[in-house]
Structure 1
């Protein structure tokens, strides 16, 4: 989902709230009452019908209100861990695929061998599950959380994808057709739940009457969050105005809303208001610096600018245009302020790590500028290694880590000083996805210095279609590596891991 579509969605909905109505209804008191109802229903299901409780957990997550139920969700999942090790062919496909996905999403490792009893040839699979839309959807969603080496799970994902497409061909007018098509295009693991069309899945899931309090809670939560977003956007605009960059002609038309979309879409918990605002500031600088390198400056100016950031001082930048010096000042001031806030909260100052992230980013931008100036394409792997850094993902995720961390230690800071595997995978997926999307939408005779251009230049015999298939396979492989990293013990908070995995959808 690209930035523009998110802005369109948000612009249409975010400002529908009447603040006076919001206060008069005492919506927080109403939320507490409805939340109590939902928790009562969920607690009862966990003890009496564990599988049904997971069905409710699935609905809760799709509605984007899981932050209210962290303990209950964990309790429901723990009950399923033993159950999944004893799966037999007597169970329905949905009954194993749903808990498998929910457990892996939360970082619980479940062996893919639970699906071994499904091994059969394609004809048998089709005969048995060809019309089981509910089971096939659950299986397709579950296979998105596969890791390297799980070949049987990959095959099951491929077959479920084919069968769901075949089902759509036969049932174009079916009431579930839109939901099936939407799932194939935007599987949950790659999506942003807040921006899913809830009317599609709610009509498919047919929420039970006793669960209507779920919809009510979701509506209240959406109202509260949109109201907070409205106030946060005002704060972001005020910050942007005070920063001074808006006065520079090059940046006068920039829209802070575009930068705010990242944290707004990924930090859905209402309690993360400060985190959304703080992260918007660093994201804005990534966008601005990217444009400085791509549009507004000469190679000599970019070299001076990069050297200034490396030294972390403005001395020697007198030859730069005012807008570049103003931007450099903003990088220093925002980073120092951010580091000071983290120091006050955790007792450790991350300024060295933050500086290193900005220097690494500008070095990558400068390398791309040299390639562009030379008119020669680098080797594909050389491009990709640099392109992973030039996404700016490491800058965003390092800031996000400090904003979301329960504790900050010297050990975790040391991990961030180099790009850890989870950040590397996120950035690689974003870089390749962006380049692949650009290749599909552009004139195939043109070059834009993307990974696909470099790959085809290096492998003259490869067609554009083959290059795209190669990039798609790299993306698929990296998703598996990212899934494994989430399932492996690591020093990152669950909120950070969720944010990192959700970040993919920005370019998908």
Structure 2
């Protein structure tokens, strides 16, 4: 999300409040992304899931029988890994949990009996899968692969599959786990150095792993790549691939219907016509929930979650492009008060936006109350108030020309990403683990929200510095940090920011292992938000998003050949 880009003027430019639409900025945003569902007629075609139902059911039962017959620990882990990479693991959650629970107990028994690990690949795969599913496994499990000085043994580089496994495992490290930091550096250097001498198939595996670590990637976004390049050669067999293709096409049809339903809601809402200066990008907005709530069973929740996401973009454009400073202050006051009478002082376009926000939020609250027995209106309206207050702070910085300290900018910028709005809505829509204690924690912006929000803010600002700061009008953490510390090299600051992003990933990994107040589905939503950031904010030289465009084509338009 991170929708507020231009928050400062150039230090060499005259400073004045925004009093009229910034047509230059509006054109810039349209150049970055200007797409709607109506531009892709294929999306309007309905697809019959019944054509796949019988065959898919047969394949599901075949896989389930195989899972029940597996006994070798390595084969079990390889099967689970393949199911996850093919995005069909949601069909077998009970079986997977039973296997992992048994594996975790066996690892504990081996550790207490002092038995050695059985191979680098076996060990790394078990470590990664168990941590991904919330089991804490100590990195001491890798001690057998280090020498007396604590360094990883040089001969390990001959085991390419094991090295790949160690690299993937290292990406689940938390703060203070030096063994995993060393594993990451060791494997990255060794794999890059030996890439040219690898067999072609292994070189593809290595290149893909280094560019897209499993833990930091969205499985469904990579399913076709996994199938097409046979990245599942670690044990997935033909019948798994057949099921994955059938399932991919069925889920694609589901996503197409969801996008049509949201697009109709968006058209009927009428904001695109009333607020012509704002972005009109329903397809891009829908890609967020598609990633965040990836389980196909969450269809209704994806549609509902796209609604507040669209409003975040619209409100950002009001603050960033159109509103005067006085209007923005009145709008923020209206959102904080959350009363219809508060809109009397607002111009018509703001009244329309506030009514859309007010009604949509109340409708979602009513849905949550009906489904889960809890009215979330207090928490939801608080998220919108916090967002508008953060946007207003940025608008005042812009108007005054006062650049904040980097830490102050980042604290406010974490809220102005809008991530807290998305994840709080996701929490209540999912309805898992709603208690007073969990809601109090949620309202205080826990690490499961602040970590992906910080990753988004830093990545967005890093991209802005590289691709969108030619005219000196886009504020960012990079800009604040450079001025505060007297640094003139964007490269040096870029390295610092990447280290900060790496640290936030480690903090998020810890939250995923320790935040017991929150359900696995909400933790996955938090993780998927962080995973989506790089796709949403990797602009090319033409200020386009080629990775996102490619995933839209793959996930929403192009079927998987059977």
CA contact (8 A) 1:256 1:284 kept: yes
CA deviation after TM superposition for structure 1 residue 175, in Å: 2.5
CA deviation after TM superposition for structure 1 residue 282, in Å: 0.8
Range moving further from structure 2, 58-67 or 317-326: 317-326
- Structure 1 runs not aligned, ≥5 long: none
Q: Report 1 or 2 for greater relative contact order, CA contacts < 8 Å, sequence distance ≥ 6.
A: 2
Residue 304 (structure 2) pairs with residue 273 (structure 1): no
CA contact (8 A) 2:124 2:169 kept: yes
> Residue by residue, what CA displacement relative to the aligned partner does 1:415-457 show, whole Å, maximum 9, x if unpaired?
2222122211121111112112322335589462111111111
Range moving further from structure 2, 409-418 or 183-192: 409-418
CA contact (8 A) 1:126 1:163 kept: no
Structure-to-structure mapping, 1:264-413, within 5 angstroms: 264-413=290-439
TM-score, normalized by length of structure 2? 0.83
Residue 181 (structure 2) pairs with residue 154 (structure 1): yes
CA contact (8 A) 1:15 1:230 kept: no
Residue 527 (structure 2) pairs with residue 468 (structure 1): no
- Structure 2 runs not aligned, ≥5 long: 4-30, 535-562
CA deviation after TM superposition for structure 1 residue 258, in Å: 1.3
Q: Distance in 1 between matches of 2:167 and 2:257?
A: 39
**Alignment correspondent of 2:242:** 216
CA contact (8 A) 1:379 1:458 kept: yes
Aligned residues between the structures? 501
TM-score, normalized by length of structure 1? 0.91
- Structure 1 residues 379 and 253: alpha-carbon distance in aligned structure 2, compared to 1, 3 A threshold: closer
- Structure 1 residues 6 and 299: alpha-carbon distance in aligned structure 2, compared to 1, 3 A threshold: closer
Residue 103 (structure 2) pairs with residue 80 (structure 1): yes
CA contact (8 A) 1:233 1:257 kept: yes
CA deviation after TM superposition for structure 1 residue 257, in Å: 1.2
Q: CA RMSD in A?
A: 2.9
**Alignment correspondent of 1:230:** 256
- Structure 1 residues 6 and 424: alpha-carbon distance in aligned structure 2, compared to 1, 3 A threshold: same
> Residue by residue, what CA displacement relative to the aligned partner does 1:204-230 show, whole Å, maximum 9, x if unpaired?
433768x32211211121111111111
Residue 106 (structure 2) pairs with residue 51 (structure 1): no
Q: Distance in 2 between matches of 1:143 and 1:394?
A: 28
Q: Distance in 2 between matches of 1:293 and 1:249?
A: 13
CA contact (8 A) 2:414 2:454 kept: yes
**Alignment correspondent of 1:34:** 59
CA deviation after TM superposition for structure 1 residue 489, in Å: 4.2
Q: Distance in 2 between matches of 1:358 and 1:429?
A: 21
CA contact (8 A) 1:115 1:153 kept: no
CA deviation after TM superposition for structure 1 residue 247, in Å: 1.8
Residue 207 (structure 2) pairs with residue 184 (structure 1): no
Q: Distance in 1 between matches of 2:142 and 2:338?
A: 54
Range moving further from structure 2, 222-231 or 177-186: 177-186
**Alignment correspondent of 1:68:** 91
> Residue by residue, what CA displacement relative to the aligned partner does 1:455-504 show, whole Å, maximum 9, x if unpaired?
11110146322211211111111111111111114221111111110111
- Structure 1 residues 294 and 364: alpha-carbon distance in aligned structure 2, compared to 1, 3 A threshold: same
Q: Distance in 2 between matches of 1:170 and 1:147?
A: 33
CA deviation after TM superposition for structure 1 residue 11, in Å: 11
Q: Distance in 2 between matches of 1:180 and 1:483?
A: 23
2:121 to 94, 105, 111: 94
